[in-house]
Amino acid sequence: MIGGGQLARMAHDAAIPLGVRFRLLADTPQDSASLVVNDVVLGDYRDLDTLRRFAAGCDVITFDHEHVPTEHLRTLLAEGVNVRPGPDALVFAQDKGLMRAKLDSLGVPCPRHRLVADAADVTRFAQEGEGASRSDSDKGGYPVVLKTTRGGYDGKGVWVVDDETEAAEPFQAGVPVLAEEKVDFVRELAADVVRSPHGQAVAYPVVESVQKDGICHEVVAPAPNLSAELAAEAQALALRIAGELDITGHLAVELFETRDGRVLVNELAMRPHNSGHWSIDGAVTSQFENHIRAVLDLPLGDPRPRQPWTVMVNVLGGDYPDMYSAYLHCMARDPGLRIHMYGKDVKPGRKVGHVTVFGDDLEDVRERARHAAAYLRGDITE
């Protein structure tokens, strides 16, 4: 697996009971996965020779991030390395402009969008949609969402701008910028699916994803009060995208549920994803195990939930660095709580772990998960 973050760490954990030997390409010995994987190669994923040396002897290469240069992956593929997902699929998670163009060609519902050249062009884009999807026409069609086409994650590379002056900042990055309408949505959803090279695919329950400042804070599985019809539509849409893009492995399709009862595709991620962390404890087969199975072309496992409700809350770093001492309270208060820590140094706003609770009472499950995450962060002390 290329990338040494927490996704690689949790994928390695899923590989152990399958007897799968795991090699890691990481940046440093202190990376989250480097601390637990035995076979670690340190190097720069942007260097082709490093990738070649790393791939030697591996049956398959997969990823915990989308940032490996596409041209390097095509070279590895041409040299006989099994790269899954392949570069022709992964490029649509690497480049938001290409993703939008591809989804448009497939007739997939998305927010109104186009590539923009400069701040003045953003204003033209805003005015094109004035009155069409919002009522605040006095603002000239603003606000607008701007995204760098490459390199963004967890809210980085994304701006919500209210005027042309604010719209100038994203262009300083020197990469193409995509403008999108700011959707008036009810909530954010995610449809997680896994697909194998031989075409087998499974779909997890559609979840509700609660975002703050562009970072996932909480996931509820399944999404409460989501109609069966809209849930089935979202799952079918994700499965169709996986098939049309010929994806191998896990695909997360991040969605907006609109006020008029539709779903619009916001983002794609072709790797295990934060919206699927609940499945480690809450599903028969986790997203990580199914991703490992898929890239090795093994039969996929059952994605169904074990309990009616599962809530996962991310633990973000704050001003309280010693989270370990909080275990005593959390474990004693709630023996059913599942704590997952990533071995990272605590920094404000950094994802350092998550907690999961499952059961048959949503409000009870949600309160328990939120309490534990808040206590680990040091937000509460009782």
Name the 3-class secondary structure at 215: strand
pLDDT in tens, the chain (382 residues): 999 999 999 999 999 999 999 999 999 999 999 999 999 999 999 999 999 999 999 999 999 999 999 999 999 999 999 999 999 999 999 999 999 999 999 999 999 999 999 999 999 999 987 544 443 444 558 999 999 998 766 667 899 999 999 999 999 878 899 999 999 999 999 999 999 999 899 999 999 999 888 889 999 999 999 999 999 999 999 999 999 999 999 999 999 999 999 999 999 999 999 999 999 999 999 999 999 999 999 999 999 999 999 999 999 988 777 888 899 999 999 999 999 999 998 888 889 999 999 999 999 999 999 999 999 998 887 7
CA-angle at 281, arms to 279 and 283, nearest 5° = 45
CA neighbor of 292 nearest in space, from 79, 61, 40, 54:
61
**Torsion (CA) 253, 258, 263, 267 in degrees, nearest 10:** -20
pTM of the model: 0.94
Q: What is the DSSP letter of 204?
A: P
Nearest in space to 15 (alpha carbons), one of 1, 30, 29: 1
Is residue 146 within 8 A of residue 178, CB to CB? The reply is: yes
C-beta neighbour count of 341 within 10 angstroms? 17
Start-to-end CA distance of the chain, whole Å, equals: 40
| Strand pairing category for 39-42 and 23-26 | parallel
Strand partners, 115: 178
Q: Quick one: pLDDT at residue 134?
A: 42
- Give CA–CA dist 338/215, Å, rounded: 21
Could you tell me the CA-to-CA distances from 37 to 7, 276, 351 in Å, in that order?
A: 12, 22, 20
Q: What is the pLDDT of residue 137?
A: 41
**From CA 245, how far away is CA 293, in angstroms rounded?**
19
Please give the sequence-ordered ranges of beta strands (E in DSSP) within 34-157, or none if there are none. Answer: 39-42, 113-116, 144-148
According to DSSP H, which parts of 81-176 are helical? 87-94, 96-105, 119-128
Token digits for 120?
């003045």
For residue 297, give both structure tokens.
Answer: 């072309």
> If we measure between CA atoms, which residue out of 93, 96, 73 comes closest to residue 25?
73
218 Rama class: left (phi>0) / alpha (psi -120 to 50) / beta: beta
Domains and CATH numbers, the chain: 6-83 (3.40.50.20), 112-181 (3.30.1490.20), 185-377 (3.30.470.20)
Give the distance between the most distant pair of CA atoms in the chain: 61
Residue recorded with tokens 């082709």? 48
Identify the pLDDT of residue 77: 97
**Is residue 379 packed enough to be buried (19+ CB in 10 Å), middle (13-18) or exposed (0-12)?**
middle
So what's the pLDDT on residue 381? 79
Point out which residues pair with 40 in neighbouring strands.
Answer: 24
Query: 């599942």: which residue's tokens?
Result: 338
Q: 254 with 245: CB under 8 angstroms?
A: no
CB 28 within 8 A of CB 34: yes
What is the rounded distance in angstroms from the CA atom of residue 346 to the CA atom of residue 214? 19
In the beta sheet, which residues pair with residue 340?
354
Instruction: Give SS3 for 92.
Output: helix
Token pair of 277, please? Answer: 């962390």
Predicted local distance difference test score (pLDDT) of residue 132: 42
Q: What are phi and psi of 371, to 5 degrees?
A: -60, -45
The number of residues making up the chain comes to: 382
